[in-house]
Structure 1
Amino acid sequence: MTDSRSTKGSAKACSMSDLSFKSEKEQNQQQKQQFAVSQVSMHTAAEQDAASALENRNAKHSARENSALPKGFVLYASLTALALSLFLAALDTMIVSTIIEEVAKQFGSYSEIGWLFTGYSLPNALLALIWGRIATPIGFKRTMLFAIVIFEVGSLISALANSMNVLIGGRVIAGVGGCGIQSLSFVIGSNLVEESNRGVLIAILSCSFAIASVVGPFLGGVFTSRVTWRWCFYINLPIGGLTFFLFLMFCNPDPHTFQETVRNILRIPSQLIEFVRKVGHHLSKVKELGKRTSWKILLTELVFMYDIIEFVLCTAGFTSILLAFTFGGNRYAWDSAEIIVLFVIGVILVILAAVYDFFVFPKFDVVKTAPRYQPLMSWRNIKRPGIFTVNIALFLLCTGYISQFTYIVQYFQLIYNDSAWKAAVHLVACIIPTVITSVVCGVITDKTRQIKPIIVISSILGVVGAGLLTLLNNSASNSAHIGLLILPGIAFGGLMQSSMLASQIQLDKESPTFHSDFVSITTFSTFSKNLGQALGGVISNTVFSAAAVNKLHKSNIELPGGSTANNLVVYRQTHFDGSHSKLGNIISASLTDVFYTALGFYGLSFVFAVFASGKKVAVKPIRVKDDLEKGEGINDKSKEKQ
């Protein structure tokens, strides 16, 4: 009995313990499940909080970016100062188109007349990449003011020149300053507005260039015909002074209200003193650098900060090529050793400059450890099809356009014996379409965010217009004098407006080098445009001179002093015998050769334009202020999601 009872008792105890164990196990499982649920809940809440925090942070960042941009009066005043700065630089490019014959007659050097354009455009191109690098440590505003001063000095030297070499030297100095003005204007302007509005901004600044293209030749023609060609350079002095004053007043990185701008205007005397002091300070730092530190540090900064090796190679190379075009067929025969050596050396140096920047520069250890050391032309950026193709297209189109532009004036002066200002009036048919197209394309880009269609259509119209322009001979009607000039103007305005923006949107905004890349790509676009203008000015002059001399020999015409292009122009001015005379026919045929050369450049430009990137401009960001005014703030949205 005892055993049975004990057995039953133990069984009962065992069953109770089992129940107790099971109950405890179930409680543990339930607790685990509750803990897991709470963890998931906490994790979900954490994710929601993180998403809300990220959204709020992005909203605050967007708000800071929006509030950092100038608005209202300050924005418009800043844009006016930038537009006038660009107008000043562009005016000096176009105003010389009407003084060619007068200067050639006074200095007796028509074969070098192309350097009136190239002497200004070549440093404009080669230094475009350097100015942005200089402005980064010094400040964009101070650098811009310094560029205006250099431009004014060059203009004064050109106005006082007593020989062709001095005149070209003054043009080179003015080109150095003009390059800084053009490069920095677009960099500063692009940072004044959001990406979605940059198309309109570039259109406004491009209009300054186009308006200068109208005013420049007209003023040059009036000055040359009524006063003296020297006033084409004197006029830059008062305009430059006004530009300096406006830029000093309104283009400021900090003030964003009218009241702050007024206070800044009242500080103009102190700002001028500060500007001079800062320039002196930086110059003294350079001087002290050579005295107090080792030459190794100075050399390191020159080589890696300013990429001086690439700059020297590139400058020497392009100069050699342009000199070969200048002297070939004039001072030396095309197959002479001098011309061949200049071509070969020039091409080799340009290739070495590209190889050095693209492949050698990034291999240095100091470059790998210091992100601030970047090449002037980064292969990482230029190899992108969206950047490379559109800038090559711009370069080729500008080469063809400046060739046409220069010799359209020559057409009316040499064939019809028009005065300088009458010949300049005809350029209105080319320039007005440029202005209208720049504005219209900017608006289209702002509304549709599309860029590639504008680039391709502009290139197509350029090819068609260049082909039609070959019909501009000494038998062309008055309507042809207007109609044939319209399409080249449209093509130039469309591609010039869209190419820079098309390059800028290819950059990665999250990249740690975005700021330096943005400056580099913007200045590279200016480099492409100015290099095309420099090459076009020399090539067109070479083609015309070679064609004219060749046709004179074939016609057995001997001019007093020899059958050269310079003597042909001088003789034509003093012995004009009508548009359909033997000399008139020779000049007309030579001009047609120039227009055919331009057609070739337009055709190549179209090939590259077809492969432009189809990337769209970023959508305009939503402003936090607008959401809050509607009662739909970021925090409310995040709560609704939760």
Structure 2
Amino acid sequence: MESAKSENTRNSQSSPSPGKEQPEAGYPSRLSLSLIALGLCLAVFCFALDQTIVANAIPRITDEFDSVADIGWYGSSFLLATSAFQLFYGTAYSYFSIKSTFLIATGLFELGSLLCAVAPSSTAFIIGRAVAGLGGSGIMGGALVIIAHSVPLRRRPLFIGAIGAMFGIASVCGPLLGGVFTDRLTWRWCFYINLPFGAITVIAVALFFKPPRRPAVDSLPFLTKMKKLDWLGMFFFVPSIVSLLLALQWGGSTYPWDSGRIIALFVVFAVLGFAFGFVEYKRKDQAILPPSIITQRSIAAAAWYSFFNGAAFLVVIYYTPLWHQVVRQVSAVESGIRLLPMIVGNVVMVMISGCLVTVIGYYAPFMLVSTILTPISEGLLSTWTVDATFSQWFGYEAFAGIAFGAGMQQPVMAVQTVLPIDQIPIGTSLVVFMQTLGAAVFVSVAQSVFSNQLIADLKQFAGLGGGGFNPTDFLSAGATNVFNKIPPQLVRPFLDAFNHAVTRVYIISICCSSLTLIGSLAMEYKSVKNGKKKEETAA
């Protein structure tokens, strides 16, 4: 009954009949709805694509900008901005015009994409990625809010499912498309592609979406709305996360771990993080991270699982193309094609697990299955050598894709099942936030481990400290350009060193996947069938 009441309360704000769902005639026409849905799907597709499309283009980007040391920031700058402002957009959609807020978010994402496409330097590229992440953080949640006000309740799951499918497909196909663009055109087309799709989204939403009337919110003065946003929480949260990532990015490579600068960054992260938690506790339901939601057992378990699962998955996605392009010396397109076993395995297993959850009703067992299988699959990836056979890299990648796919969507299912309908957008944003935050943190950790391990391995395996080649010079060279800077007799030792460094990175994924066990075991065993029957009975 609580779920139905929440839905009725929200619909009454945009309907003249209190307590009743908005009549069919109050929604967009079939043509308008089709165009709105098309625009939203394209926006979500581009946003999800940007999370992984750069993975296969990284070697060429580093060749052009001459800086392998920035690899971690190419991914984490986008993910940091996304995770830092995603929950903020949830509050913004509650108090400001849904249409205007979504269009602003889309505009920022498009601006960031343009900056990346025309970037003249590595620094400019990183800034563009951050701007794109700032805008992209409001796209997924905004798309779901717009669907909620454009589609009757009984038809809504179809459209939400389409948006979710678009997100999943784009996330796993990003590296392949990145390889195609990088080899056939230029890596800059990985970002140019967002511009026409974004234009369609802006036109569709601006012309055909009619935002709901919300008298209680619309009547508030602009300054009052601004005051309701959790600015104090954001003030502590953003620099706290930036300090953490800077410490992880610089520690052990740019500065020693025990240097004053790194220690200071960790201290700033801890102090501001504590202040953020205190502010959220005091603001309660007005916080960007409401304690009443995160303290629910299933939501906390879903958040924990998403944090470490997202971290493990993206580390594998980022460094597997690098292994293929450098160690196996294949093109960007070929390395993208070689990711197909993982991509296909992931997509197929996501679909199968979704069907099985629909039939069985329980999603928690699939999280546990994924928790068991993913560390095993990543352990197999860590056994790769320069001479790895086709069956080894193909089979291990396929196994990893299947292992991740079994549990990838289950935290979202938990949110959909245990929360009342009016809290589902906040819960969903929290899960996505934790997923992107985990990825942002551990991509930086992976880069630090990779850089330090590579330098150590070059000295140990190849003796490259002599002969006029300094191992640290590799960090300022492009990933594939390095073959032009080392003597031919040292190519094989270099490949052995590079292979070892990449496969050590997979140990990070093993650790993260193992930690998802806590979320899997803590998840409540609730059935989506019971939730559905209860909603239908209440309605």
Structure 1 length-normalised TM = 0.72
2:12 maps to which residue?
none
Q: 2:375 aligns with which of 459, 463, 467?
A: 463
Residues 97 and 211, structure 2, Cα contact 8 Å, conserved in 1: no
2:526 to 595, 615, 622: 615
Distance in structure 2 (CA, Å) of the matches to 1:73 and 1:465: 46
Larger radius of gyration: 1
Alpha carbons of structure 1 residues 506 and 454: separation in structure 2 relative to 1, 3 Å: same
Which residue does 1:532 correspond to in 2?
A: 438
Q: Residues of 2 paired with 1:531 and 1:436: CA distance?
A: 26
Q: Deviations over 1:392-414 (max 9, x none)?
A: 10110110111111000011011
1:433 paired residue number: 345
1:212 to 170, 175, 180: 170
Residue number in structure 2 paired with 1:400: 312
| Counterparts of 2:154 and 2:305, CA distance in 1 | 23
Pairing 1:226-237 to 2, within 5 Å after superposition: 226-237=184-195
1:503 aligns with 2:436: no
Equivalents in 2 of 1:96, 1:325: separation in Å?
21
SS of the residue aligned with 2:418?
Answer: coil
Alignment RMSD, CA only? 3.2
In the TM superposition, what whole-angstrom CA distance separates every residue of 1:415-449 from its partner, at most 9, and x where no partner exists? Answer: 01111111111111111222223333333333443
- Structure 1 residue 504 displacement after superposition: 3.5
Alignment of 1:60-71 (within 5 A): 64=21, 67=24
TM-superposed CA distance for 1:203, in Å, is 5.0
Aligned sequence identity (%): 28
**Counterpart secondary structure, 2:187:** coil
Contact 2:44 2:166 in 1 (8 A): yes
Change (3 A) 1:402 1:525: same
- Taking the aligned partners of 1:579 and 1:89, their CA distance within structure 2 comes to 41
Match of 1:596 among 504, 507, 510: 507
Tell me which of 505, 511, 517 is aligned to 1:606. 517
Alignment match, 2:448: 542
Give yes or no for contact 1:202–1:497 (8 Å, CA) kept in 2.
no
Task: Evaluate the alpha carbon distance shift between residue 589 and residue 147 of structure 1 in structure 2; reply closer, same or farther with a 3 A threshold.
Answer: same
Could you tell me whether the CA contact under 8 Å between 1:334 and 1:340 is conserved in 2? yes
| 1:313–1:62 CA distance, 2 compared to 1 (3 A) | closer
2:61 to 81, 95, 103: 103
Q: Which residue of 302, 308, 314 corresponds with 2:231?
A: 308
Q: How much does 1:575 deviate?
A: 5.5
* Structure 1 unaligned spans of 5+: 1-59, 255-281, 290-296, 363-372, 510-514, 625-633, 635-642
Select the residue among 248, 267, 279 that pairs with 1:325.
248
Q: What is the correspondence of 1:111-510 to structure 2 with a 5 Å cutoff?
A: 111-189=69-147, 203-248=161-206, 289=223, 301-302=226-227, 305-358=228-281, 360-362=282-284, 374-508=286-420
Distance 2:343 2:469 in 1: 38
Aligned letter for 1:530? T
Structure 1 residues 155-164 or 99-108, which shifts more? 99-108
Q: In the alignment, is residue 572 of structure 1 matched against residue 479 of structure 2?
A: no
Cα displacement (A) at 1:62: 9.7
2:457 matches 1:551: yes
Question: How much does 1:552 deviate?
Answer: 2.1
Give the TM-score normalised by structure 2: 0.85
Separation (CA, whole Å) in 1 of partners of 2:22 and 2:309: 36
Counterpart-to-counterpart distance in 2, 1:454 and 1:66: 38
Specify the SS of the correspondent of 1:484: helix
Match of 1:257 in 2: none
Kept in 2: contact 1:415–1:579 (CA 8 A):
no
Residue by residue over 1:296-352, the C-alpha shift from the partner in whole angstroms, topping out at 9 and shown as x without a partner, is x68xx43xx211121121111111111111112222112211112112221232232
Aligned 8 A contact 1:396 1:605 in 2: yes
Number of aligned residues: 508
| Aligned residue number for residue 215 of structure 2 | none
User: How much does 1:486 deviate?
Assistant: 2.0
Matched, 1:519 2:425: yes
Give the Cα–Cα distance (whole angstroms) in 2 for the partners of residues 63 and 454 of structure 1: 37
Distance in structure 2 (CA, Å) of the matches to 1:490 and 1:187: 31
Deviation digits for residues 18-55 of structure 1, max 9, x if unmatched?
A: xxxxxxxxxxxxxxxxxxxxxxxxxxxxxxxxxxxxxx
5+ residue gaps in structure 2? 1-16, 213-217
Deviations, residues 74-99 of structure 1 (Å, cap 9, x unaligned): 76655443322211101112221122
Cα deviation for residue 478 of structure 1 reads 0.6
Aligned to 1:91: 49
Give distance in 2, aligned partners of 1:597 and 1:213.
Answer: 21
Task: Give how far 1:188 is off.
Answer: 4.1
Give 1:134 deviation, angstroms: 0.9
Deviation at 1:232, TM superposition (A): 1.7
Which position in structure 2 is the counterpart of 1:21?
A: none
| CA deviation string 1:107-144 (max 9, x = no partner) | 22221221111111111101110111111222333322
Q: Per-residue deviation at 1:554?
A: 2.8
